[in-house]
Amino acid sequence: MSVEPASAADLDVVCIGNAIVDVLTQTDDATLMRLGMTKGSMSMVDAEAAERLYNELGPGIETSGGSAGNTAAGLASLGAKCAYIGKVRDDRLGEIFAHDIQAVGVEYSTAPATAGPPTARCLILITPDAERTMNTYLGACADLGPDDIDEKLVGRAQVTYLEGYLWDRDAAKQAFLRAARLAHAAGRMTALTLSDSFCVDRHRDSFRELISGHIDILFANEAEILSLYEVDNFDAALQHAREDCAVAALTRSEKGSVVISGEEVHVVDADPVSPVIDTTGAGDQYAAGFLHGYTRGKELALCARVGGIAAAEVISHVGPRPQVNLSDLVEARLSAR
Amino acid sequence: MSVEPASAADLDVVCIGNAIVDVLTQTDDATLMRLGMTKGSMSMVDAEAAERLYNELGPGIETSGGSAGNTAAGLASLGAKCAYIGKVRDDRLGEIFAHDIQAVGVEYSTAPATAGPPTARCLILITPDAERTMNTYLGACADLGPDDIDEKLVGRAQVTYLEGYLWDRDAAKQAFLRAARLAHAAGRMTALTLSDSFCVDRHRDSFRELISGHIDILFANEAEILSLYEVDNFDAALQHAREDCAVAALTRSEKGSVVISGEEVHVVDADPVSPVIDTTGAGDQYAAGFLHGYTRGKELALCARVGGIAAAEVISHVGPRPQVNLSDLVEARLSAR
């Protein structure tokens, strides 16, 4: 199965997500416990809690992030043509976000908010076991609405890629559905990443409707897909996903990924990484690699392999975006076989 | 997909293999190197080399083994009705073999050789990493031929299960083909385990013919299936196996197993084991568990799960046969979910 290139698709992927600046800090388990955080989770915090945490942890490394933003950056590093839609405020962090994503070659022209809450930030606490615990203050992201979805932009891209985190806000949800409808109306495809098992818990039923009604390609990790279908083992989740989605790419950390599409199935090993430094962005980069292959009409097994290579790169260092040219890396890894 | 019970099948499985007594010894990597052995491999040795090794390593634990014999013992422990066909000599080790397999409830009536080489033995060297390196002296096994295949016995069993090691000897090969033909003529099914990647290397083309022409259910581990199809990654092997076999159950050590049957696919996790003591017999017990489920008409995912539970038990201790009642263990593990 491969994408049928529609006419005049000059973009490979348009990614829509929460535009967030990450603030990365290394910490320990005791601190997580003291702050009452569940390791590995993503929690939403309000302005006040964000301020308090920021003061408590001290300044960290500021780097533009956001799940779909990271995927867009990965796609650009792979040589794909892509665009990003996400909302910042006209403040310092908003400028940093726009600068970073444009600097890697991603088209980004969502109008910044001129009033209301500041640009979103995510305080990421990295423990020595390379797990990350995230506290997100959504700030200006909450202002993303249907009007921010540029019909022309969506029509220009082979795939419109949506991050599940958007499903937390009503206006963003409407933006999301509008984007999916516009994509399909233009003969394009849609993709969704479930983002987080807690996010799936919050919206299980509406996610299932969304997937069966509007999504062509589903990305999920094992915890997310188990939560989505409320089953206790991977194989049971796999059978459900097979029924619901045209393509499901299910990631399993060091076990690699399984891609299922109708009668087609692929069980693809993870790319080796030693040591794993920080798992932030692994799923985002897997999606980038997979979509890069997919929009070039590659076999699903190769899409999964490229996803695995991109994911392996990003977990080999701190930070959610690639630090090498992924296009070169993929070429080297594939020819090394 | 489930087995259609043919009339008058009073046996679940008849296993055909090399009747071997194992001699287990714990050793270290340096000794393996000194003896010129490749860790994890199974080598054939002649009478003289077997004698020399036996003297060098000193006496070990004698226990009836043989790949298909271990599977028969596992099936019996699971509560299946089964029989075994394999050749011993009328000597002390031959008596031990017959005693052990009959003691666990397996029907065994192959006539022992009254002349020629002694009962086969396998010197198994276990290193601290739980890997086993095997040196097999086939002895009397070489005498197994078409006449040892009891047509009535094969006709009584739902599945005739064959171990790939038999493919090393011409007479056994003929016995093997006769068993497969008799099974199909009686409306029964056949299963094959590839046994060993070196064994696959020795007989690649004829194994491929055998599988596509005579085998319904294929068991293989990752190294074996990669060797069979001469590919470098699991997914590529999976696609080949899907074309060739009605059912392929592919084991991947700690990654669990993948079962593929036409449009049906299952990715099933391994049962947890800590610590792994000795991997001897893991594949044999997986096959036992899988076939036990299969001959009871269970779903393929459950067959794989039972296989995983049986394999986990056998690698948690030294020795290739179960040390607990597998039927009770499986019930406990399945209800613990």
Distance CA A218, CA A194 (A): 8
Q: Chain B residues with CB inside 8 Å of A304's CB?
A: 235
Residue type, A165: Y
DSSP secondary structure letters along A74-95: HHHHTT--EEEE---BSSHHHH
Closest partner residue to B235 (CB to CB) among A232, A260, A268 is: A268
Cβ contacts of A307 on chain B, cutoff 8 Å: none
Please give the residue of chain B at the shortest CA–CA distance from A250: B267
Q: Could you tell me if A320 and A63 are in contact, meaning their C-beta atoms sit under 8 angstroms apart?
A: yes
What's the pLDDT at A1?
42
DSSP state of A60: -
pLDDT at B3: 46
Residue A135 lies in a domain: yes
Residue range B257-270, pLDDT digits in tens: 999 999 999 999 99
Residue B80 to residue B138: CA distance in whole angstroms: 28
DSSP B217-240: EEEEEHHHHHHHHT-SSHHHHHHH
Rounded to 10 degrees, the C-alpha dihedral A317/A322/A323/A326 comes to 120
Confirm whether A266 is domain-assigned.
yes
The whole-chain average pLDDT of chain B stands at 92
A267: tokens are 């069980």
Q: Chain A: give the shortest CA distance to residue B216, in Å.
A: 20
Cα-to-chain-centroid distance, residue B280? 10
- Give the CA distances from residue A96 to residues A16, A55, A64, in Å, rounded to whole numbers and listed in that order: 18, 20, 7
Q: Do A265 and B260 touch (CB under 8 A)?
A: yes
Q: Which amino acid is at B189?
A: M
In a domain, A268, yes or no: yes
- Residue in A263, A267, A337 closest to B267 by CB: A267
B267-300 b/e (C-beta count within 10 Å ≥ 16 → b): bbbbbebeebebbbbbbbbbbbbbbbbbbbebbb
Most confident of A40-44, B47-51, B161-165, B198-202: B161-165
Indicate the residue type of B14: V
Look at residue A2 and tell me if it is in a domain: no
E strands in chain B: 11-16, 20-26, 42-44, 61-64, 82-85, 107-108, 120-126, 132-137, 157-163, 189-193, 217-221, 247-251, 257-261, 264-268
Q: In the prediction, which pLDDT does B7 show? A: 60
Cα nearest neighbour of B231 on chain A: A337
The total number of residues shown for chain A amounts to: 337
Could you tell me the residue range of the domain that residue B209 belongs to?
11-18+65-116+140-335
Contact B232/A337, CB-based, under 8 Å? yes
pLDDT at B134 over 60: yes
Beta strands in chain A (DSSP E): 11-16, 20-26, 42-44, 61-64, 82-85, 107-108, 120-126, 132-137, 157-163, 189-193, 217-221, 247-251, 257-261, 264-268
**pLDDT class for B337, splitting at 50, 70, 90?**
low
pLDDT of residue B2: 44
Q: Which of B236, B260, B266 is nearest residue A235 as measured by Cβ atoms?
A: B266
* Contact yes or no for B258 and A267 at CB 8 A: yes
Q: Which residues contact A244 (CB under 8 A, 6 or more apart)?
A: A208, A211, A212, A218
Distance spanning both ends of chain B, measured CA to CA: 24
The residue that leads in pLDDT, B59 or B157, is B157
Kindly list the strands in the beta sheet with B61-64, ordered across the sheet, starting from the edge strand earlier in the chain. Answer: B42-44, B132-137, B120-126, B20-26, B61-64
pLDDT of residue B1: 42
* C-alpha distance from B268 to closest chain A C-alpha (Å): 6
pLDDT reported for residue B230: 95
Q: What is the per-residue pLDDT for A7?
A: 60
Query: Residue A130 is part of a domain; what is its CATH number?
Result: 3.40.1190.20
Does B88 fall in a domain? Answer: yes
Burial of B197 (0-12, 13-18, 19+ CB in 10 A): buried
B267 chain-A contacts, CB cut-off 8 A: 234-235, 238, 258, 267
Nearest-CB residue to B267 (from A238, A269, A304): A238
The CA distances from residue B161 to A52, A54, A79, B11, B16, in Å, are 67, 65, 52, 12, 6
> Please, is A184 exposed, middle or buried when counting C-beta atoms within 10 Å of its C-beta (0-12, 13-18, 19+)?
middle
The answer to the question of residue B71 being in a domain is: yes
Domains identified in chain A, total number: 1
CB contact under 8 A, B235 and A337: no
pLDDT of residue A63: 84
List Cα–Cα distances, A200 to A165, A239, A247, A286, B254, in angstroms. 9, 18, 19, 19, 28
How large is the ipTM?
A: 0.74
Full strand arrangement of the beta sheet holding B257-261? B107-108, B82-85, B11-16, B157-163, B189-193, B217-221, B247-251, B257-261, B264-268
Report long-range pairs for B88-93 (Cβ below 8 Å, ≥24 apart).
B88/B19, B88/B112, B88/B113, B88/B119, B88/B120, B88/B140, B89/B113, B89/B114, B89/B116, B89/B117, B89/B118, B89/B119, B89/B139, B89/B140, B90/B114, B91/B118, B91/B119, B92/B119, B93/B21, B93/B62, B93/B118, B93/B119, B93/B121
Asked whether residue A213 is assigned to any structural domain, the reply reads yes
DSSP B197: H
- Specify whether the CB–CB gap between B132 and B278 falls below 8 A: yes
pTM above 0.90, yes or no: no
CA distance A271 to chain B (A): 12
Contact flag B238-A266 (C-beta cutoff 8 Å): yes
Q: Do A240 and A248 contact (CB within 8 A), yes or no?
A: no
Report the residue of chain A nearest B271, measured CA to CA.
A233
Around A89, how many Cα atoms within 13 Å sit in the side-chain half-sphere? Answer: 16
Q: Please say whether the beta carbons of B273 and B315 come within 8 A.
A: yes
Q: Are A191 and A159 contacting, i.e. CB atoms less than 8 angstroms apart?
A: yes
Q: Read off the pLDDT of each residue in B27-50 and give the average, rounded to a whole number.
A: 88
Token duo for residue A131: 């797990």
- Best mutation target, B225, B267, B299, to test chain A (most A CBs within 10 A): B267
Nearest CA in chain A to B261: A263
Q: Could you report the average pLDDT of every consecutive run of 10 residues in chain A (337 residues)?
A: 59 96 89 88 86 81 90 97 96 93 95 94 89 90 92 96 89 92 96 89 92 95 95 96 95 95 95 86 96 97 97 91 94 87
Mutation target among B253, B265, B300 for the A interface, most CBs of A within 10 A: B265
User: Does some domain include residue A4?
Assistant: no
